[in-house]
Amino acid sequence: MDQKLFFLINREWTAPGLDLLMATVSSFDFWVPILCVLIVCIALRGGFKARAMIVVAILVVGLSDGVAVNSLKHIVNRPRPTQLESVRVVDLKKAKPRLLAVFQPPLVQASHPEQGPVKDGRSFPSGHTTDNFAAAMVLTLFYPRRGWIYFFFAALVGYSRIYTGSHWPSDVLASAFFGAGLALMGVAGLENIWQRFGWRISASLFAKYPSLLKAGSQNS
């Protein structure tokens, strides 16, 4: 079932316009400058709650990607689709800056499966999916009324990882829950740390904002 769904998404449910869209959504390099600008703007123009959300998101995503995801990739060692089958590999063309690649046709080529047993599988979990669902959960916890909207983009990122030939559907589905769960635990832990030790960092700031998540909307 996993393999069948993968080939439907990767080989059958395709179109030139989707190739460019999915390659763009899936490209980390494309989003880095946009993300950096957003973070700077929020940090400069937002209040305590917005800045706290940025710090928490960076810590949660950084730890999940750098520790949890990388560790599990080595432990599980599941081969990527490209290592086992000849699949469509969709990517943006090389361009500097990377943003310019969206104005060119994407690269679409067939992968070359490895011969013999795969020794270095990195299919599970999907780092892109884990990170984006973790970020979506952080946004939702800080801003329940609108933050959940990011889950739609996170789901699109996950789908793009299947479309572009990088991960199996089960990798993406499990990674979505994994990322959201890590964020729940991470935010709960950081909120607890702030409530217990925030006064040591800044007594005046803690007196005004005793909670990271419940800062008054007028100050956020």
Provide the pLDDT for residue 61. 96
pTM of the model: 0.93
Provide the pLDDT for residue 217. 45
Asked if residue 99 lies in contact with residue 75, where contact means CB atoms within 8 angstroms, the answer is no
pLDDT truncated to tens, each residue of the chain (220 aa)? Answer: 999 999 999 999 999 999 999 999 999 999 999 999 999 999 999 999 999 999 999 999 999 999 999 999 999 999 999 999 999 999 999 988 888 999 999 999 999 998 878 888 999 999 999 999 999 999 999 999 999 999 999 999 999 999 999 999 999 999 999 999 999 999 999 999 999 999 898 899 999 999 999 865 444 4
Output b/e per residue, 118-141; b: 16+ Cβ within 10 A: beebbbbbbbbbbbbbbbbbbbbb
3-class secondary structure, 117: coil
Q: How far apart are CA 129 and CA 133, in angstroms?
A: 6
Whether 115 maps to a domain, the answer reads no
Whether 12 maps to a domain, the answer reads yes
Provide the pLDDT for residue 214. 82
| Cα 95 from chain centroid (whole Å) | 23
Domain harbouring 105, CATH code: 1.20.144.10
Q: What share of the chain is helix, strand, coil (3-state, %, to 5)?
A: 70, 5, 25
Whether 118 maps to a domain, the answer reads no
Whether 117 maps to a domain, the answer reads no
Structural domains in the chain (count): 1
Asked if residue 191 lies in contact with residue 213, where contact means CB atoms within 8 angstroms, the answer is yes
Provide the pLDDT for residue 149. 97
Whether 43 maps to a domain, the answer reads yes
Whether 175 maps to a domain, the answer reads yes
Q: Which domain holds residue 48?
A: 2-110+123-219
Q: To 10 degrees, the CA torsion angle through 84, 111, 14, 98?
A: 120
| H or E segment to which residue 89 belongs | strand 88-91
Q: How far apart are CA 150 and CA 138, in angstroms?
A: 10
Whether 24 maps to a domain, the answer reads yes
